[in-house]
Structure 1
Amino acid sequence: MDKLLVQKQLKLGVLRKCGLKQFDESHCGLISEQVFLQTKNYISRSGVCRFYLYEGEHPQFNSPFILNSLSQFIGYTDFAAYGLALESRKQGEPSLNFKSKAGT
């Protein structure tokens, strides 16, 4: 699956997890805080803004740390596992990479 498409889906998943319907720059602090509280991974407000605002223009802003942290925030082990889960859903196969609530 195309990495940019997976990133778009990740953006939507993070918004849903935060109870937001659409992104606004004022949400960057909230998203940063929620990610830290759940994953203990700190993504700065500006890191969150770059992830949401520079789609496709500057893919280097989407560091593996940011992609993995946001994927963990929505319940996956990392960005690669999230991409595989999306691909599996697309093909109708169950995903084996989703992290359980117990953290296993």
Structure 2
Amino acid sequence: METKNIILKLRMQKGLSQDELAEKIMVTRQAVSRWENGETVPNTETLKLLSKEFDVSINTLLGEPRKLICQCCGMPIEDDSILGRDKDGTLNEEYCKWCYADGTYTYSNMDDLID
């Protein structure tokens, strides 16, 4: 799915108007409209805000252009529910939730992974 369709779908699922979404992420309604029409794509900082607002990964917002792999255990991360989270609750695309949770690595000793 393309970014324009993903943003529209997520906005509609949350029951937000373009104006409401724009206000939440500090952009204009016209910017939201251009994304949803496929005229432009949000910049990196805006993608971070959208990711947090919709509780999805940036990878998901971009239509999953790359396969995510946990950088700790090597497990494929096939959907956002498996992603670890930082202390502020945002998704961390580098680690699975079993290796990294609430901004903390869950393994006290990396040797545990080798056994």
> What TM-score do the two structures reach when normalised by structure 1?
0.50
Question: Does the CA-based 8 Å contact 2:22-2:29 persist in structure 1?
Answer: yes
Match of residue 82, structure 2, among 95, 98, 101: 95
Within 5 Å, give how 1:62-73 maps onto structure 2: 62-73=42-53
User: What is the letter of the counterpart of residue 80 of structure 1?
Assistant: N
User: Mind listing any 5+ residue stretches in structure 2 that lack a counterpart?
Assistant: 69-76, 90-101, 103-115
Give the AA of the match of 1:49.
Answer: S
Other structure's SS at 1:62 match: coil
TM-score normalized with structure 2 length: 0.47
Higher strand share: 2
Structure with more helix by fraction: 1
Q: Which residue of 2 aligns with 1:80?
A: 59
Using the TM superposition, give the Cα deviation of residue 11 of structure 1 relative to its aligned residue in structure 2, in angstroms: 2.6
Match of residue 9, structure 1, among 3, 6, 9: 6
The reply on whether 1:45 has 2:29 as its aligned counterpart is yes
Q: Residue 8 of structure 2 contacts residue 36 of structure 2 at CA under 8 Å; is this kept in 1?
A: yes
Matches of 2:11 and 2:83, distance apart in 1: 20
**Which of these two proteins has the greater Rg computed from alpha carbons?**
2
Q: Deviation string for 1:33-77 (max 9, x for gaps)?
A: 2xx2xxxx4122221111112x2xx44x4322332221211114x
Select the structure with the greater relative contact order (CA < 8 A; seq sep ≥ 6). Answer: 1
**Residue 15 of structure 1: SS of its match in structure 2?**
helix
- For the aligned residue pairs, the C-alpha RMSD in angstroms reads 3.4
AA aligned opposite 1:42: M
